[in-house]
Structure 1
Amino acid sequence: MPFLSRIIKPLLALTVSAAILSTTQGCSKESKPAEQPAPVQQPAAVPAAQPTQAAKPSEPRTIALSVTEKGYEPSPVTLKQGEPVKLVLTRTTDKTCATEIVLEEHGINTPLPLDKPVEVAFTPTKTGQLVYGCAMGKMISGVFMVE
């Protein structure tokens, strides 16, 4: 049994040390001194995905979308069936595979050059979720909720 004792005791000590470190460090990559988190201030009610310009009945609704490291933002965006839409997409990072927007239902596969706004127009024809995304099987994607 002394042999097992020499193996088990160090393993047990290592496990306890790891458990203590994981509870004090969490998943953060940086170690910072313990601070009280600042209270989160919520902005006044801001409607999600408002048109960037006033839409007239004969003009398409313009929606600005950004492609960031987090993906397509904002998402989801609510659209109306039969209402023409003009998306203005700007890719702001190279750290993504979302270098285009693909929307098969409307025959859209448009490249998104870095830091250059690109306009894409379509009219949603049916209600429900309309998923768009990158050309890699929509690994990075966004959603339009069509009412």
Structure 2
Amino acid sequence: MMTRLMGALVALPLIAAAPALASSGKSAASEQKPASAPVTKNGVQLVDLTVTAKGFEPANVKVKAGKPVRLLITRKTEKTCATELVMTELGINQPLPLDTPVTVEFTPSESGTLRYSCAMDHISGQVTIQ
């Protein structure tokens, strides 16, 4: 478990559409899928997450410690309990309106694993920090 994280936390709705990255699985903990790597732009690690009927896609993402991370999350289905993103370790509980991209930003300071889930904790994923 990760005990310390530094950096600003920001959650803002965006107007632009977010493309989905290819991956599937309801829970990164229950399925051992390879982690997706973010795209880095201007020193920020960009991760597109999509909520579908399958859950968070991708459900496992790898990022580097010490560099800002920007999650861009778009819920594409009404048939899900993942109507918000919860990252307990960061104190984040961000609503995910249908078809509206939302950003969550943070800067991990050390390696470890950060878990994210729906509010009911039925659908989840993880950010592996190296």
TM range (shorter): 0.5 to 0.7
Based on CA coordinates, which of the two structures has the bigger radius of gyration? 1
- Report the AA paired with residue 106 of structure 1: L
Alignment partners' CA distance in 2, 1:75 and 1:49: 12
Task: State yes or no: 1:56 paired with 2:79.
Answer: no
Alignment partners' CA distance in 2, 1:50 and 1:111: 22
Alignment of 1:1-147 (within 5 A): 48-51=36-39, 54-57=40-43, 60-136=44-120, 138-147=121-130
- Report the AA paired with residue 134 of structure 1: C
- Report the AA paired with residue 56 of structure 1: N
- Report the AA paired with residue 80 of structure 2: T
Instruction: Return the offset for 1:123.
Output: 1.3
Q: Give CA-to-partner distance per residue, 1:40-78, whole Å, 9 cap, x none.
A: xxxxxxx93432xx4223xx2221100011111112100
Using the size of structure 2 for normalisation, the TM-score is: 0.68
Instruction: Return the offset for 1:130.
Output: 1.2
3-state secondary structure, aligned to 1:105: helix
Alignment partners' CA distance in 2, 1:69 and 1:63: 19
Structure 1: gaps of 5 or more residues: 1-46
- Report the AA paired with residue 142 of structure 1: G
Q: Give CA-to-partner distance per residue, 1:82-126, whole Å, 9 cap, x none.
A: 211111100000111000100011111100000110111111233
Alignment partners' CA distance in 2, 1:126 and 1:75: 21
Alignment partners' CA distance in 1, 2:91 and 2:109: 13
- Report the AA paired with residue 77 of structure 1: V
- Report the AA paired with residue 125 of structure 2: G
What number of residue pairs does the alignment pair up? Answer: 96
- Measured on the aligned residues, the alpha-carbon RMSD in Å equals 1.6
**Greater per-residue strand proportion:** 2
* Structure with more contact order per residue of length (Cα contacts < 8 Å, sep ≥ 6): 2
| Contact 1:49–1:74, Cα closer than 8 Å, also in 2 | no
